[in-house]
Amino acid sequence: PRTGGVRALRGRRRGWSGSGPDDRDPQLFGALTSQLAKGRGWSGKVAEGMVFGQWAKVVGEDIAAHAQPISLENHVLSIQAESTAWATQLRMFQSQILAKIAAAVGNGVVKQLRINGPTAPSWRKGERHIKGRGPRDTYG
């Protein structure tokens, strides 16, 4: 009796996936991690991390060179601009920036932007500062 042949090969191949896509085929790592994040309820945190981790890709190189995300709390993203001119520019393009963020990480992750310019220098001098107006009344 013959033990080989086409029928024997067909019988052994039942465990193979064949030429079409199958769950047993190698999967893309990104697809697997997104399934894991959805299954464990991490999708929101992953999206928040993408805003910070891929800031230049999300908003573009030009904006990323002049502004950085600081914090994301209650769907409000705080952005620190390098100058008051850039802060004003970003405020004018706020809706476009929100649209870019939504396209990259999904709707609802960032609903509002809080754009801050550079912090002003403090005029307080020394360790011991007295509250109040100080010696400004000497001119009159």
Write down the domain spans for the chain: 67-119
Choose from 48-57, 65-74, 131-140 the range with maximum mean pLDDT.
Answer: 65-74
Query: Crossing angle of helices 94-105/84-92, nearest 10°?
Result: 70
Q: What is the pLDDT of residues 108-139, one digit of tens each?
A: 888 899 999 887 766 667 777 667 766 665 55
Q: Give the C-alpha separation, 115 to 81, whole Å.
A: 7
What average pLDDT score do residues 90-101 get?
A: 91
pLDDT score of 110: 87
pLDDT score of 28: 81
